[in-house]
Amino acid sequence: MNRVLLPLLFLASFLAAGCVQQAPTATPVPTVFQPSAQATASVQAAMTVPHGGQWGIYSLDLASQQVELVYGSDEIYSSAIRLNPAGDELVFAKKTGAADESTELFIIGADGSGLRQVTNNSFWDLYPAWSPDGTRIAFLSKREKDLDLYVVDASGGNERKLYDSGDNDADVDWAGGKLVFTTGFKIWTVNEDGTGAFQVTNPANAGRWGSANLPIGDYDPRFSSDGARIVFERLENPNTTHGGYNLFTINSDGRGERRLTNDNYSQGLASWSRDGTKIVYVVAAIGEEGKYDLYSIDADGSDNRDVTPSYFPPDFLCHAPVFSGDGSKIFFVGQWWQ
């Protein structure tokens, strides 16, 4: 669906710290999502998007296209929400004070119940990712000179630094006994005990700046549930305001890189379905066409489709989507543009 032209905000809140979001470059011809019979035009016309603050965590039923507000706040970070392995809780970052450094991790039930705080300190904690068994959470924190990888128990406490590359580390995910992250504009993995750092990608001209707000490089890696594959976005064209990003997948051993998109859009913040067959991501069109929409694509690059309900208003922007455990819903962060 078309949107008003708005600046890209994917990870704008901490781009300066070396983290990322976004993704663009050449023009797919996406399949228009065909909703089920109950989601007819007349039914959709009667639907509205609940509003509980500038930011909200939402669930979208892909069959009915009904959207529900899980949690609303003016202080949610759009960097990431993650669903736990059991499929019943989401972890996210939220500001608890006026300064960015007062950002803490929270968990909430997928049905909106049981909000609880996980971290409580004077540091910048964000970009959480569940361990495969759901007992721990990896996250980014700036407690020294740059962002490093930390781990905390999901119940709170037992925080510890897991890995420090010596530069800003970003965009962490966890599966199959390893964590995947971005550093130096490349994708790396590390064992869950902090050993065995391994460079997965080596994009040409990584780190070269143009007029975009990030340099050429790879960002926002996400593991498939078995840890075998990684989806990420690559900034290939730095000579536009927001850059040209495309989606790629690669084996966790650095082999088998595959391009999924080749478009004139900013595409990114991708994540896998639990069965590894589909990927959900955000498309932000730059230029006369404005959009900030949810898309789904098969893992082989086929069946690229816009799954954004037509009734979403122009000032409602979609960020950070993740599939539900059974793939019938998408959880995402919605932003009401002000």
Tokens of 214: 């990030």
307 neighbors 23 (Cβ within 8 angstroms): no
147 neighbors 169 (Cβ within 8 angstroms): yes
- In this structure, is the dihedral angle defined by the CA atoms of residues 79, 83, 84 and 90, taken in order, positive or negative? positive
> Cα torsion at 245, 251, 257, 260 (round to 10°)?
-50
How far is it, in rounded angstroms, from Cα 20 to Cα 25?
Answer: 16
How far is it, in rounded angstroms, from Cα 266 to Cα 22?
Answer: 6
Which pLDDT score, from 0 to 100, does residue 142 have?
92
How far is it, in rounded angstroms, from Cα 245 to Cα 218?
Answer: 9
Q: Are strands 31-32 and 305-306 parallel, antiparallel or unpaired?
A: parallel
Give the domain 12-336 fold.
Neuraminidase (2.120.10)
Which pLDDT score, from 0 to 100, does residue 337 have?
82
pLDDT per 10-residue tile (average), the chain, 338 residues: 37 36 37 46 70 92 97 81 98 85 92 97 94 98 93 97 96 98 98 98 96 92 98 90 88 98 87 98 70 93 96 92 98 90
Which pLDDT score, from 0 to 100, does residue 269 have?
95
How far is it, in rounded angstroms, from Cα 319 to Cα 247?
Answer: 16
What global pTM score does this model have?
0.88
Which pLDDT score, from 0 to 100, does residue 57 have?
96
